[in-house]
Homo-oligomer: A and B are copies of this chain.
C-alpha cells in the first residue's frame, strides 16, 4: 500500500522532500501545503533582487505551483495554512487563506518544514514604525523593493549584523542609500571571531557604512524615523530593516505536544523524526547536533534544509540514511570581500571549556606574481594533541570560499591538521600556489603541534609589553614606518644571527608582518637558547 505524505511548508526543505519522494515512488500520495503564495523560491536571493544584482523577479521563483505539480504529479496547495495537527487521528487542519474555509486532511506521514520567522521584539515604538521591514519571503521583498523604488529613501538603518543584515546593508548601499548598521555585539558576523570580523568592519567603513557596534535599539520615535540607541545615540532614518535573527516556527509542533529543544526548535532524532515517529521535522524549525562538539544547536541555513529533506524522503521509503549533524559551514559576500567559516569558533569552544590552539596565516589567494591575487586571512582552530580540526575562518577579496570548502571537506573526512600538508590541491598561477593556503595553514599548525614554534595571540601582546616583555620586530625598518607595535625593538631577520648579542634577555617575543618571518626568527632564536614566542598572524592580525 502506498503512503500519503503531507508536507507543511513548500520551500527549501519541503519542496526538496516532495521532489525526492516522487522520484523514489510514483505511487506515494504527496500533498504539499504552503501558507504563502509562492513555493520553492530563492530565499537567499531576496537581498540581491532588492539591490538590483538580480534583475528579474521571476528568477527568484525556482518552481511554480503549476510546473511542480505537473512535473512531479503532486497536490500542491499554496495560500493554505496548516493550523493544527491531530496526532491521534493523523489529520491536519488546513485553512484556505483565499476563502477562509477550514478543512482536514489525513496523513500517514507528516513532514514539517515550516522554517523560521524574523524576531521582532517589543521595542517601544516598533508597532508605529511605518517603514520598518523584516525579510523572509517574496511579499517582504516586494514591500522593501517598492519602498526603495518609490520613496527613494536617503538613509536606511539595518539592525543586526548577521548574514541578512550585512547583505541588506550592501544591497541598500548598491541602491545609493546611506546605510547605518547597528549591532549589539562587538562584532558583526557571529560565526567568525573578533579579529577576523575586524577586517570586515574596516571594509564596511571604507565603503561608507556607518557601523555602530555594541549598541542596540532602545526605542523608535516619529513613526520609526528616529531611533534611540541604548548608548543615547540617535539615528535619523527613512527606512529600517530589522534583521536580528530568526526563531523556529514551532507553533504547530508545540500545540500538538512534540518535544522542543534549544530556542524552541523542534527536537528530532538522527532520522529527523520528532517525538512522534510519524512526524518528521527539518530545516530552520529544528534543533540539530553540532557536528564538532555534539551539543544541541540551531543553524538555520539552506544546505541543511535541503540535505535533511532528501534524507527524510529516503527514510520514508525505507532507505536508511542519517543526518550527521550540522557543521555550520557558512559564507557571505560583504561588499568586495568574502567571509566564510566552518565548524566551531573560539567563542564557542571557550564557552564549552574546550582547549584549543589557533593559527592565523595570510597566504595569497593565488600566486602573488599573477594578477588579481589577494591575501587570505585564514584562521585554523585545532587541538595540538590530536590534531583535530575544530573550525576554520577565512576573509578575503578572493579565494576564501574555496579554502573553507576544502577545510569543511577535510573535517567531514575525519582529517586532522597533520593531514593538511598532504592535500594535493590544484595549482597553476591563476588559482593557487604550489603550497595552497590550506597546506600552509596545515604546516603552521603542525609546527605548533610538534613544538617547533610557540605562539602568542594578538590579544595577549599588549599585556605582555605592559609587563615588561621584550618584543623583537624582525621586519625591515621601512615596514615599521607603515605601522608597528609600540615598544618593540627592530632587528631585521637578515641581521638576526649576527645581532643575537644585543638581546638583553633570554625570554623574548618576535613578530613580523604575517607570522612567516617571525617563525623563521623563532627557529633561529630557539636554537640559540632563547625561550621565544612568535606573534601568530603577525602585525596584520594584531592591527
Contacts and interface: CB of A to CB of B under 8 A. Distances in A.
Contacts of A527: 25-27
Contacts of A494: 70-71
Nearest to A69: B494
A54 B371 contact: yes
A26 B405 contact: no
Contacts of A263: none
Contact of A48 (B331, B332, B370, B402): B370
A307 B410 CA distance: 18
Interface in A70-96: 70-71, 73
Contacts of A401: 402, 426, 431-432
A401 B5 CA distance: 40
Interface in A430-454: 430-432, 434-436, 439, 443, 450, 452
A30 B527 CA distance: 17
Contact of A412 (B324, B408, B422, B431): B422
A305 interface: yes
A493 B26 contact: no
Contact of A408 (B45, B291, B301, B425): B425
Interface residues of A, number: 89
Given A26-B527, A45-B370, A369-B59, A306 B435 contact: yes
A424 B523 contact: no
Contacts of A368: 59
A406 interface: yes
A43 to B, nearest CB: 9
A302 B333 CA distance: 32
A526 to B, nearest CB: 9
A53 B303 contact: no
Contacts of A197: none
Given A45-B369, A413-B414, A497-B73, A333 B422 contact: no
A423 B431 contact: no
Nearest to A497: B73
B414 A330 contact: no
Interface in A253-305: 291, 301-305
A316 interface: no
Contact of A402 (B330, B338, B405, B439): B405
A523 B26 contact: yes
A327 interface: yes
A91 to B, nearest CB: 28
B44 A426 contact: no
A332 B302 CA distance: 32
A524 interface: yes
A439 to B, nearest CB: 8
A326 interface: yes
A440 B429 CA distance: 28
Given A60-B369, A370-B53, A422-B307, A302 B409 contact: no
A329 interface: yes
Interface of A: 12, 22-27, 42, 44-45, 48, 53-54, 56, 59-60, 62, 70-71, 73, 163, 291, 301-307, 310, 319, 324, 326-333, 338, 340, 342, 367-371, 401-402, 404-406, 408-410, 412-415, 419, 421-432, 434-436, 439, 443, 450, 452, 493-494, 497, 519-520, 523-524, 527-528
The 10 closest A-B pairs by CB, nearest first: A413-B413, A331-B426, A59-B369, A302-B434, A26-B527, A409-B409, A402-B402, A306-B434, A327-B424, A329-B424
